[in-house]
Amino acid sequence: MTMDCAVRLASGELMFCSGPWVSFINPPNKTALRPPMDAADIFGPTFPAFPEALLIGRGNRAHKIYVFSRGQYWRYDAPTPSSRNIPLDPGHPKKISDVWFEMGTFHRAREHGIDGAVTLPGGRIFFFAGAECIEHIWGQKTTTGPNPIAQIFPQMSLNADYYFMGGRPNMLDYLYVVRGDTASIYDPNRGRPMTATTIKISDTWAGLEPSIPRTRLAPLRQRARARLPANWANVDVAETLGQTALTLATPMRVNQGSYPTCGQAAVIFCLAQYFPDLYVDYFLGALGRGGLPGTGTIKAHSRTFKARDKTYDEPWLPNMGITSNDWVLTALLRDDASQFMRVKNDGADVRNGITTPNEMRFQLNHLLPKSGTARVNRAFHPRMREAALKWAHEARHRGGVAIHLVCAEIVPGGPVSSFANHWVTHLGGLNISHGNRSLRSNDDRYRMRVQSWGAAHNISWSGDQLKSIKKGYYGSVRWVP
């Protein structure tokens, strides 16, 4: 188990942060009060993903929580487990150096930021980084240090992942020093660790960790702590990394937003759902280098992402909430340098175009493991249609993926008037029932479950609908290992 930071709230609960998630513990209990929650639900979208340290204020700020990350701090009203949409205090985030100059210098000198912060009895605040610490007295603007941790806290474990105070009601003045899933307990009043006292966080308090393997969260955390700039204009690195972690936990949320990029959204969903390690590798490559590692052909030219509360490049379609991490990968796959359609709305290619089946096959062959092959199956008459659907269904059962091209009108959740045809990802539930067929009518019924527009949908259509070029199902692209 790896958390980013933790703090004891004035109400007695412990608050843990891991990536974009927040968990609350009532220390006497053995489990989290509820499953990990998206921090944006509690603090709004301004809360930084992968925070470095948390502090509760003192004196007239005792009802405030301070969140430190990337040389800045955010201030909110301290939460409770039932809090929702706590607003950020006006004027924040602020630079640490604007308030505590020495603290700002200490932070900037550490390549990966700080490891944690705690408030000891009497209002002494310590910030830790590696084997050093710096001391600040609450209510003053002066700091002391940096000094070796071993000098201030003899025999205390060094190079911890994070620190917090008061993990148990009868140990409020004790310092918990955490590395990985193990915490040692230190008595700052006596200046020594408690003899042979270590605990496992996961055994002491179950249910803290989000449903995502730590091996996939670790490279995102490492990238957030590295404080490297993104290769994209107007992309907030930490927010985008947090969105990526949320997508890994819930791939169903992948959404093309306002962009006519259903094909790319389907490919991204397949990566996040079925090949998450590749998804992380591609995203980090896209974020840092503007290209996908290992493909040799896909590199983006268009690197502008406008904030979600502003107008996108396409003025003809309102934003529907695409996340920045989905946008980064979508932009790569739709960029002209990658031989796909362009991102900019400067011609009919994007406004009226559709990613072709051969382009979809090209993307799957380049992005999915080389152990499989993508094929196109078109559906021009009933026999071809049923065969293509059954082959797609079989591909999923064999550990592959299948993406269908259907009429946008049969898929709920999207702007029907804006898109004629639409790529959706096959989830299963294929059902074909045969009815009467004649020159005038076809009572065949088709049903299946698909992912699109950030959700799972049950879609259906009839044989009669297929007589119109604007209705029904047109074919599939399947990748089979």
Phi-psi category of residue 274: left, alpha or beta, with phi > 0 → left and psi -120 to 50 → alpha: alpha
Question: Do residues 461 and 450 both lie within one domain?
Answer: yes
Question: Do residues 59 and 199 both lie within one domain?
Answer: yes
pLDDT of 308: 35
Last residue of a domain, one of 320, 339, 367: 367
Question: Do residues 403 and 442 both lie within one domain?
Answer: yes
What is the residue-level pLDDT of the chain in tens, covering all 481 positions?
578 999 999 888 899 999 899 999 888 777 788 888 999 899 988 899 999 999 998 888 889 999 998 888 999 999 988 899 999 999 999 988 777 666 666 766 666 678 899 998 878 889 998 888 988 888 776 788 889 999 999 989 888 899 999 887 778 889 999 988 899 999 998 888 887 678 888 888 888 877 777 778 888 988 888 777 777 766 788 888 999 999 999 999 998 876 778 888 999 999 999 999 999 988 888 887 665 555 444 444 444 443 333 333 333 233 456 788 888 888 777 654 443 333 343 333 333 456 788 888 988 988 899 899 999 998 767 678 888 999 999 999 999 999 999 888 888 877 655 567 889 999 999 998 877 665 455 667 889 999 998 999 999 887 655 555 456 788 899 999 9
Question: Do residues 469 and 428 both lie within one domain?
Answer: yes
Question: Do residues 331 and 403 both lie within one domain?
Answer: no
Q: Rounded to a whole number, what is the distance in angstroms from the first to the last CA of the chain? A: 33
Question: Do residues 190 and 314 both lie within one domain?
Answer: no
Amino acid at 472: G
Question: Do residues 191 and 336 both lie within one domain?
Answer: no
Structure tokens at 282: 């591609």
CB 66 within 8 A of CB 146: no
Which of 43, 55, 135, 56 minimizes the C-alpha distance to 87?
43
Number of domains the chain contains:
3
E strand segments, 367-400:
373-378
Question: Do residues 30 and 174 both lie within one domain?
Answer: yes
Tell me whether residue 98 is exposed, middle or buried, using C-beta atoms within 10 angstroms of its C-beta: 0 to 12, 13 to 18, 19 or more.
exposed
Question: Do residues 335 and 385 both lie within one domain?
Answer: no
Structure tokens at 436: 């009467």
pTM over 0.95: no
Question: Do residues 247 and 329 both lie within one domain?
Answer: yes
Question: Do residues 457 and 343 both lie within one domain?
Answer: no
3-state helix, strand, coil in the chain (%, to 5): 30, 30, 40
Last residue of a domain, one of 367, 395, 415: 367
Domain that holds residue 19: 5-204
Question: Do residues 69 and 181 both lie within one domain?
Answer: yes
Amino acid at 366: H
| % of the chain surpassing 90 pLDDT | 33
Q: What is the CATH number of the domain that holds 57?
A: 2.110.10.10
Last residue of a domain, one of 164, 188, 204: 204
